[in-house]
Amino acid sequence: MARKQKPEPPKVVRRAVGTRKPLPEALEAFARGDDDALWRRSRSTRIDDPRPVASARVPGVANRDARLVYDARVKRLRAAMEAGDERALGEALADAVRLRLWRAGAIVGFDAFTEAVLGVGAARARALAADGAAAIGEPCEPGDERVIALWIRLEAGVLEGSAEGRVSLRGGRFVLEVPVGAAALALSGVGRRATPMMKVPLEPEVVVDRPRGVEPLGRIIARDRPTDDDA
């Protein structure tokens, strides 16, 4: 009687480093020796705006400035549509999402904004915005309220100097564009509007949620690790 052959053990295939699923950033930091990495989180701070919610279109921004930026951006969106420039239209729509621009026009949402104001179907507008966001390397989602407030304030100041002015946010940097002849007036308007934001932290506050009295995890693990004496 022939002996039954044992099945061969499965082969272990090691994938290239670039194709492996990465660990969460907090675990990576903990593995590098950051004891509080698993407890650390970002805490966002809301803008302190004393106006009633119904009267404030954009938190932290005067309604006149919000409307100024809204009108200028709608004009540029329509110009891109008339020119058939889908790239410019997509990038402008992506920025409209990031700014939640519709609020400045007292409109309930992005879909209503594109359909009622621009005459562009919601599905097509969302697709264009997604393509535009990919082109500029930015997420197609609303930004932090503090950043939105500063962005609109800066652009309102630039527009005070020239209707051709604009402000973009790319890679964590504000880029101001204004004709040379109007630069002094525009920068003066920017300064007046930006000064009140000096006391508003734009970066999320990082806090450690480790309960009081609990030792860092690294110390606990080192203390409880079995030793040769425990064998």
Q: Where are the domains of the chain?
A: 63-206
Average pLDDT over residues 121-138: 96
Nearest to 152 by CA among 95, 207, 84, 82: 95
pTM assigned to the model: 0.69
Paired tokens of 72: 């200028």
The CA distance from 151 to 173, in Å, is: 11
CA distances from 216 to 42, 65, 227 (A): 19, 48, 20
Measured N-to-C along each axis, helices 145-161 and 86-99 cross at an angle, to the nearest 10 degrees, of: 120
User: CB of 149 within 8 A of CB of 60?
Assistant: yes
Measured N-to-C along each axis, helices 86-99 and 63-83 cross at an angle, to the nearest 10 degrees, of: 160
Q: 3-state DSSP call for residue 207?
A: strand
User: CB of 204 within 8 A of CB of 42?
Assistant: yes
Paired tokens of 29: 């930091």
Query: pLDDT tens digits, residue range 2-57?
Result: 666 777 777 767 766 666 677 777 777 777 777 676 667 666 666 666 666 556 78
Paired tokens of 46: 């809301």
pLDDT of residue 140: 95
Please give the mean pLDDT across all residues of the chain: 84
- For tokens 């264009």, name the residue: 128
Inform me whether the pLDDT recorded for 217 exceeds 70: no
Lowest mean pLDDT among 103-107, 150-154, 176-180, 226-230: 226-230
User: CB of 38 within 8 A of CB of 217?
Assistant: yes
Q: 3-state DSSP call for residue 178?
A: coil
Chain-centroid distance of CA 80 in Å reads: 24
Paired tokens of 212: 């009081």
